[in-house]
Structure 1
Amino acid sequence: MQDYTLKEMMAVVAAREIQNGDIIFCGTGISMLAAMAAKNISAPDCVIFFETGAIDSLLEEVPLAVGDSRVMYHTAVNGGLADAFGTMQNRFTGKRVVGILGAAQIDCYGNLNSTCLGGYDKPAVRFSGSGGANDVASFVSRTIIFMKHEKRKFVKQLDYLTSPGWLDGPDGRQEAGLTGGGPSAVITDMAVMRFDPDTRQMFLAECYPGISADDVQENMGFRVDCSRAAETQPPSARELHILRNRCDPQRLILG
């Protein structure tokens, strides 16, 4: 029997993607929790920064948003928007920046839509839009994407392209003049998806315990290669203890 929630699984899996020395640009919610988990579990020398200009935050408590005053606690720099985006796009620091993003839709190349559902002029639903997501997806060395694993979110064609993934394939980013490295992983509540180094198309890399490749494929709007799928290592007792008691003891994000 599982002794962890899928949200805990997602946070721990994302934390494992982050390495010592990485500079993490993250937003609100589970992405913030994943960055904190990495800092406290496996990558103590990573640096967390936010769009609002807080760089190298200590994060004694998990903030509720990037504008929460807690992101400013014991920072190396308390700057503004320009400082945050300057750090992200700097030709030296930018090579180690990892962006954590979410969206309403994703396609097989990791392109994201966080703008609208339906036509742009008369959408069925309009979202908040890019914010800094387009800049992050365009310029950082790699991105990690959080998605709810649903057919309506994994689509053959986006209703609107907000943030670039691998665009239309292997040379898409280069032809568009994008210097960043593109998406490396999509972490969902069912699985971990990655991108083939040759085709840049999404494939199933890992299924969570108790979830099959057929379950994953059934909840997607396009076909993916499932032949390489392995089972994800569940969170260890240590990882769960730190996540629950150090990162989010008030259950603000874990619930």
Structure 2
Amino acid sequence: MTDADYTATEAMVVAAARELDDGDSVLVGVGVPNLACNLAKRTHAPDLQMVYESGTIDSNPSKLPLSIGDPVLASGALRVVPMFDGFTTYLQAGRIDVGFLGGAQIDRHGNINSTVIGEYDDPVVRLPGSGGACDIASNAHRTIIITPHEERRLPAEVDFVTSPGYVGGREGRAELGLRGGPSAIITDKAVLRFDDDGVAYVETLHPDVSADEVRAATGWEVEISDESARTAPPTPDEVATIRDELDPQGVYTGTD
């Protein structure tokens, strides 16, 4: 493929999808995480077990669901349970391998803010809040975060911790009794992992993205482990699956 054969958003979606292993159980978020999970199931992870907050277990949608309440999730699911059971019997009981999340802000410790921008009592913007995100971040065995790579979205510290990452470092998370933790932040510029202290660093840069671009778009002095390390680009089949099957109108990728 040439560089013009995929967009930055498609590169982000593909990189996120590749984080999922065949047979994983994944609690799927809305928006771009939803697209990434459905791409994984249609490519390298056909036995991916997708669980949605609405209570559909092992969903197998015939098309990309527009929300967690889309009826297409129920028609091909193994089970449909009350939302309460989805969170207690599956998530809080430790039966979910991966939680897929996004947010307005993600900081260097993988904490997610979807509550307010600015001071809580007098915010610049009030956001929708946690939904099930805090439970997912606290109970999944690993969390994958996906976000556009912008300084305002990747501050050194979030304005409000809606969903915990490595709060106070890895030891701080363990002291809180939380399961798992974030394993990666996938952006449209890079793939970030977490070091022994629970601080995010850049593992790979996406094709044609420079280290300086990433540093300028990150709210902390982010470490880049190897400036020559590159994320494998999307394959023609992956791009075709996104454009022809999953998002033909470009709702999430903007490619229409």
Q: With the length of structure 2 as denominator, give the TM-score of the two structures.
A: 0.93
- What is the aligned counterpart of 1:216 among 206, 214, 219? 214
Question: Does residue 1:118 correspond to 2:121, yes or no?
Answer: no
Counterpart of 1:25?
Answer: 27
Partner secondary structure for residue 204 of structure 2: strand
Aligned equivalents of 1:25 and 1:73: distance in 2?
A: 18
Partner secondary structure for residue 177 of structure 1: coil
8 Å contact from structure 1 (residues 185, 194) kept in 2: yes
Map of 1:157-168 to 2, 5 A cutoff?
Answer: 157-168=157-168
Counterpart of 1:59?
Answer: 61
Partner secondary structure for residue 169 of structure 2: coil
Counterpart of 1:44?
Answer: 46
- What is the aligned counterpart of 1:225 among 217, 223, 233? 223
Please list the CA deviations of residues 160-192 of structure 1 after superposition, one character each: whole Å capped at 9, or x if unmatched: 1111001111211111111x2100111111111
8 Å contact from structure 1 (residues 64, 252) kept in 2: no
Q: CA deviation at 1:205?
A: 0.9
Counterpart of 1:130?
Answer: 130
Of the structure 1 ranges 235-244 and 203-212, higher mean CA displacement relative to structure 2 is found in 235-244
Counterpart of 1:15?
Answer: 17
Aligned equivalents of 1:113 and 1:129: distance in 2?
A: 8
Counterpart of 2:154?
Answer: 154
Counterpart of 1:79?
Answer: 81
Q: CA deviation at 1:62?
A: 0.5
Counterpart of 2:193?
Answer: 194
C-alpha change, 1:175 and 1:14, in structure 2 (3 Å) is same
Aligned-residue Cα RMSD (Å) equals: 1.3
Question: Does residue 1:207 correspond to 2:234, yes or no?
Answer: no
Aligned equivalents of 2:149 and 2:250: distance in 1?
A: 23
Counterpart of 2:103?
Answer: 103
Aligned equivalents of 1:241 and 1:152: distance in 2?
A: 32
Counterpart residue identity of residue 241, structure 2: I
Aligned equivalents of 2:202 and 2:130: distance in 1?
A: 27
Partner secondary structure for residue 151 of structure 2: coil
Aligned equivalents of 1:59 and 1:250: distance in 2?
A: 17
Please list the CA deviations of residues 12-65 of structure 1 after superposition, one character each: whole Å capped at 9, or x if unmatched: 111100001111111211111101111011111110010000111111110111
Q: Give aligned pairs, total.
A: 250
Counterpart residue identity of residue 145, structure 2: I
Partner secondary structure for residue 174 of structure 2: helix
Counterpart of 1:177?
Answer: 177
Counterpart residue identity of residue 232, structure 1: T
Please list the CA deviations of residues 95-147 of structure 1 after superposition, one character each: whole Å capped at 9, or x if unmatched: xx211111111111111111001111111110000000000000100111011
Please list the CA deviations of residues 49-97 of structure 1 after superposition, one character each: whole Å capped at 9, or x if unmatched: 1000011111111011111111112211111211221211223x23xx2
Aligned equivalents of 1:25 and 1:69: distance in 2?
A: 17
Of the structure 1 ranges 137-146 and 236-245, higher mean CA displacement relative to structure 2 is found in 236-245
Aligned equivalents of 1:108 and 1:62: distance in 2?
A: 31
Counting aligned pairs with the same residue, the percent is 44
C-alpha change, 1:219 and 1:252, in structure 2 (3 Å) is closer
Q: With the length of structure 1 as denominator, give the TM-score of the two structures.
A: 0.94
Structure 2, unaligned stretches of length 5 or more? Answer: none
